[in-house]
Structure 1
Amino acid sequence: MDRKRLVKDLIKDKQSDLTASERKVTALLQDDSMVAGLQSITKLAEDAGVSTPTIIRLARKLGFEGFPDLQNAIRDEVAARMREPLAKLEMAERADHQDHIVSRFAVAMAHNINRTIDRLDLAEFDEVAALLSDPARTLFLLGGRITRSNAHYFYNHLQIIRSGVSALDSSPSVWPQSLLDMTDQSVLIIFDIRRYEKELERLAELAVEQGATIVLFTDQWGSPIEKHARYSFRAMVEAPSSWDSTLAINFLIEAMVADIQSLRSDSSSERISALEKMLGQSRIFRS
């Protein structure tokens, strides 16, 4: 068995070959960032609602001799992941800043981003980037009370890279006008984290009825909108404060923008150049 490959990558490779019971186990492992795999096979089977032979068969399908071999790989993977953010904070710890809110927040954010990457399906990420770069698609973006800023941040980048991008007004009373313009060539990008908003869920439902494709950015627990979304990205949002953090969501946005721009390198460069020329020629933008 090649231990250089991560267990989560092996799971992705074999996903189509797994039975429904085996997928219950992999879902539990991925939802718990592989930590669930460190417990006994009996407890893992109980938590996943499967039999212990199912877990043994899964281990062998992934290329391991048995569950102990799989568990050793998971243990190495978890240990390596734990070392990574801690190493980055070593300087702050030496300076006796480890109890300061800045250091505690930095540890939490490093943990959030690392776990978000662990759960990310890179093939799905690239598929969404290709979808959003398609000039035949019209894009609509909207966020909730907390994530509205994330939606506008993504919108501001997309409308520079390409045309056909709209940010929906925060007031539900004007959403019907946008729904009228949605077709099977439309993509509605929604941001929704806990304290999930019923209005956003209803909008997603109506957009799907219009033929639109839903791309959802949500938290680790998953918005109810997932049942309407063709694509869903879960990001870790917990922070050492009374507020959830959307830093990991912004990480996904910026990575997505870079991917989209690389797919539209020629056309986006021309568009940005034209925009710069327009800004330079138009007096309304001059001081």
Structure 2
Amino acid sequence: MDSFSPSERRVARALLADYPSAGLRTAASLGKDAGVSAPSVVRFTVAIGLESFSALQAALRDELSLRSQGPLGRVQWQADDGSNAEMLVRRARQLADDAVASLASIPPTEIDRAIDLLADSSRRLFLTGGRFSGALAQHLAINLEQIRPRVRLVSDPFGADMIRVVDLAARDVYLLVDFHRYQRSTVDLARHAKRCGASVILITDGKLSPAAADADVVLPISVSAPSPFYSLSAAIMLVELLVIPVFHRLGAKGEERMGKWDAFRSRELLQTEQPTTD
């Protein structure tokens, strides 16, 4: 949102706060919610690359239709040409190209703010994903806990891990992962964390989870794939690459933490002799 004017930012936040319903009402109604005029709403639609407010509403209606589709709605029944091995390589190249393009489109200011928050080891850091994206949150948590303290994966925020959510405080950081066919629980969790004064980082897809309305940092990443299922390829690249500048920012503290972690972890690992050659 850095490129938006103040009035355009107000429209964007009003739209995200009740997404997509706010955009399906009249321009005057959305403008009233945002505290701006109807012409300002129209200028906002032009700023995001649409010709008119009616074009925005058409796009929102198309998105609502897409949201109702599960994996079967994305099946391409036409088989690829060539062998299975050729298909795998071709699709791998497509995923890699899409991932790089998606990473390049994330606003640099959002990446910088995310690194600042993740590298602040004086703050508690909580991470939660959904049914599909929980593995991503876990992967990031496992990497971060090796280099900084106070990292907690919250797998069941409204159940077994509820006490961690209840105890959220103003200096906490909460990283959420929520992709298309968004989870109501994630949106509720973002809203609760914001009320508690915590800083919220959201990793989501390009359509933006409604949780973006309460996020301080939004990192949109592609989950598109040449299959009926969404892909975490680009998102995994994002979280793994974020850890590197966080580690550099932590400096000696990060190295010391990793050394302690590795020493303790080595107790569990089997020591195997390396083969020798004559």
TM-score category by the smaller chain? 0.5 to 0.7
Q: What secondary structure sits across from 1:172 in the alignment?
A: coil
Confirm whether residue 141 of structure 1 aligns to residue 127 of structure 2: yes
Query: Residues 285 and 195 from structure 1, CA distance in 2 versus in 1: closer, same or farther, beyond 3 angstroms?
Result: same
Counterpart selection for 2:51 from 45, 56, 71: 45
> Which residue is equivalent to 1:226?
212
Query: Residues 268 and 100 from structure 1, CA distance in 2 versus in 1: closer, same or farther, beyond 3 angstroms?
Result: same
Superposed CA deviations along residues 171-225 of structure 1, whole A, max 9, x for unmatched, are 6312430112211111111111112111111122112121111111111111111
Superposed CA deviations along residues 145-191 of structure 1, whole A, max 9, x for unmatched, are 11111000000000001000000123631243011221111111111
Query: Residues 97 and 18 from structure 1, CA distance in 2 versus in 1: closer, same or farther, beyond 3 angstroms?
Result: farther
The alpha-carbon deviation at position 110 of structure 1 amounts to 2.9
Confirm whether residue 27 of structure 1 aligns to residue 13 of structure 2: no
TM-score (norm 2): 0.68
Query: Residues 143 and 277 from structure 1, CA distance in 2 versus in 1: closer, same or farther, beyond 3 angstroms?
Result: same
| Structure with greater helix percent | 1
Q: Distance in 2 between matches of 1:205 and 1:19?
A: 23
Q: Distance in 1 between matches of 2:211 and 2:138?
A: 19
State the one-letter code of the partner of 2:223: V
> Which residue is equivalent to 1:270?
256
State the one-letter code of the partner of 1:27: I
Q: What secondary structure sits across from 1:141 in the alignment?
A: strand
1:98 touches 1:104 (CA, 8 Å); kept in 2?
Answer: no
Query: Residues 204 and 125 from structure 1, CA distance in 2 versus in 1: closer, same or farther, beyond 3 angstroms?
Result: same
Q: Over aligned residue pairs, what C-alpha RMSD do you find? A: 2.8
Counterpart selection for 1:200 from 186, 194, 200: 186
Q: Distance in 2 between matches of 1:16 and 1:108?
A: 32
Q: Which runs of 5+ in 2 are unaligned?
A: 9-39, 57-81, 272-278
State the one-letter code of the partner of 1:45: E
Query: Residues 212 and 263 from structure 1, CA distance in 2 versus in 1: closer, same or farther, beyond 3 angstroms?
Result: same
The alpha-carbon deviation at position 270 of structure 1 amounts to 1.0
Q: What secondary structure sits across from 1:254 in the alignment?
A: helix
State the one-letter code of the partner of 2:214: H
> Which residue is equivalent to 2:27?
none
The alpha-carbon deviation at position 275 of structure 1 amounts to 2.1
Q: What secondary structure sits across from 2:159 in the alignment?
A: helix
Q: Distance in 2 between matches of 1:239 and 1:285?
A: 36
Q: Distance in 2 between matches of 1:105 and 1:47?
A: 37
> Which residue is equivalent to 1:105?
91
Query: Residues 48 and 117 from structure 1, CA distance in 2 versus in 1: closer, same or farther, beyond 3 angstroms?
Result: farther
2:173 touches 2:198 (CA, 8 Å); kept in 1?
Answer: yes
Q: Distance in 2 between matches of 1:167 and 1:47?
A: 41
> Which residue is equivalent to 1:114?
100
Q: Distance in 1 between matches of 2:146 and 2:100?
A: 29
Q: What secondary structure sits across from 2:128 in the alignment?
A: strand
**Which piece of structure 1 moves more, 15-24 or 197-206?**
15-24
Superposed CA deviations along residues 7-41 of structure 1, whole A, max 9, x for unmatched, are xxxx97xx26697466544433xxxxxxxxxxxxx
Q: Distance in 2 between matches of 1:215 and 1:271?
A: 24
Q: Distance in 2 between matches of 1:266 and 1:97?
A: 50
Q: Distance in 1 between matches of 2:270 and 2:89?
A: 42
State the one-letter code of the partner of 2:48: A
Confirm whether residue 155 of structure 1 aligns to residue 146 of structure 2: no
1:116 touches 1:236 (CA, 8 Å); kept in 2?
Answer: yes
**Which piece of structure 1 moves more, 103-112 or 180-189?**
103-112
2:157 touches 2:164 (CA, 8 Å); kept in 1?
Answer: no
Equivalent pairs, count: 213
Confirm whether residue 184 of structure 1 aligns to residue 205 of structure 2: no
Counterpart selection for 1:211 from 178, 186, 197: 197
State the one-letter code of the partner of 1:257: V
Q: Percent identity?
A: 23
TM-score (norm 1): 0.66
> Which residue is equivalent to 1:245?
231
2:110 touches 2:219 (CA, 8 Å); kept in 1?
Answer: no
> Which residue is equivalent to 1:125?
111
